[in-house]
Amino acid sequence: MTARVLIVAGSDSGGGAGIQADIKAVTMLGGHAMTAITAITAQNTLGVEAVHAIPTAMVSQQMRVVAEDIGVDAVKIGMLGGADTAMAVAEELISGVYGETFVFDPVMIATSGAVLADAKTVAAMEVLAELSTVVTPNLPELAALCGREALAEDAVEGAAVAYAKKAKAAVLVKGGHGTGETITDRLVTEHGTIALWEAPRIETRSTHGTGCTLASAIACGLAQGMPLEPAVARARDFVRLALLDAPGLGQGHGPMGQQAVRNDGLFTGPALNQITLPASDYAVSVAYYKQLGLTQIVDSPANGYARFEAINGVTLSIHVHEGVGDSAAGGATTYLESGALDAWVAYLARRGVRFETMPADEDWGWREARLSDPAGNRLCLYQAGEYRRYPPWRV
């Protein structure tokens, strides 16, 4: 059954954040997005020019009618528009018709710097936090929720644990507002950090809607039955790929590229995403596949290796390396991708599938396991995430 995600948030006329980003994320991850719009904003990539709050009764009615007819597997709560709306949303959630899976993104300040929640609204957010499965503040928002102006780097975990105890919810602290070249996201409960992710900062001005997209992607994962930690991990991968796929629109903080994310290990697998074919002449083969209409994304003539991408994100490689590995005679290798490689391989091994090599990290950033089918055809099960389409050596 398709996962049903109800999104309670504001509308962004520029299409970068809010309801628009939420719908893109849920749709691209295979869910059905429903909405209760709390406010209409006049904004673009340069900033928010005006906010018009939707009457509280109308917000509640939007929520109730879709829940009663279509049903809800998870709720994502974003920009609320005012304290009265925050309390009305909480009252709706308590009614029991929305399930128990709530992802709360405590939106207070837009990427452009515009203030989207006053002190009274921030206070009302406490009620929603206590109802939530997970709260997803960035560093300034966590500080505000803890009643501080700012948090030192070594105080983040302690503040998050204290807030998790208070809210009785998991807290995903987003590290994008931190300093340095590495971004650290931390999933915390009252018992401490239960998962931590570190990744290189992606240098782009197209960051509008990152928080909205992340929270909605998590909600979609939870609605699809994923445990919290894998749902967060997949959501992070989705956000990073959407940043890398950003179309570069507008003069300020532009929208992300949710619509361009394709089969990049965002599912537990298997997904047929890569085939490597043997080649005898590097230049001739490269020219041939370009002529077919594929886009070359890796060009390494010294290694006899090139990779091409189709419009749906599936890739094909050629490799000139006579008699060895992927390019031996008849040496095509099919690559099946998974966002949960180790669990997938363990599942297969328990059922008698024999592997030549078990999952191992490779120098090029992929994690791979190798095996052959009954006819001797070579297979590679792998996990690459953003490095499949966006490796450091991409053209």
Answer yes or no: 352 catalytic: no
In angstroms, the CA 382 to CA 265 distance is 9
Q: Which of 99, 176, 209, 385 is catalytic?
A: 209
Please state, as a whole number, how many other Cβ atoms lie within 10 Å of the Cβ of residue 9: 28
**CA 70 to CA 64: how far, in whole Å?**
10
For residue 170, CA distances in Å to 93, 195, 232, 233 come to 18, 11, 11, 15
Q: Which of 14, 211, 257, 265 is catalytic?
A: 211
Residues 212, 220, 265, 269: which is the catalytic one? 212
266: Cβ–Cβ under 8 A, 6 or more apart, which residues?
A: 29, 234, 237, 238, 241, 339
Residue 212 annotated in active site: yes
Q: Which amino acid is at 265?
A: G
Q: Is 30 helix (H, G, I), strand (E, B) or coil?
A: coil
Nearest to 286 by CA among 326, 314, 319: 319
Per the residue annotation, which of 85, 101, 111, 210 is the catalytic one? 210
- The sheet carrying 378-383 orders its strands as 295-300, 305-309, 315-319, 271-278, 333-337, 378-383, 367-372, 357-361
- Nearest CA among 29, 48, 16 for reference residue 247: 16
Catalytic residue among 207, 213, 276, 315: 207
User: Which residue among the candidates 101, 174, 269, 304 is catalytic per the annotation?
Assistant: 174
Tokens standing for residue 4:
């049903």
174 catalytic per annotation: yes
78 annotated active-site: no
Give catalytic residues, as residue numbers: 174, 207, 209-212
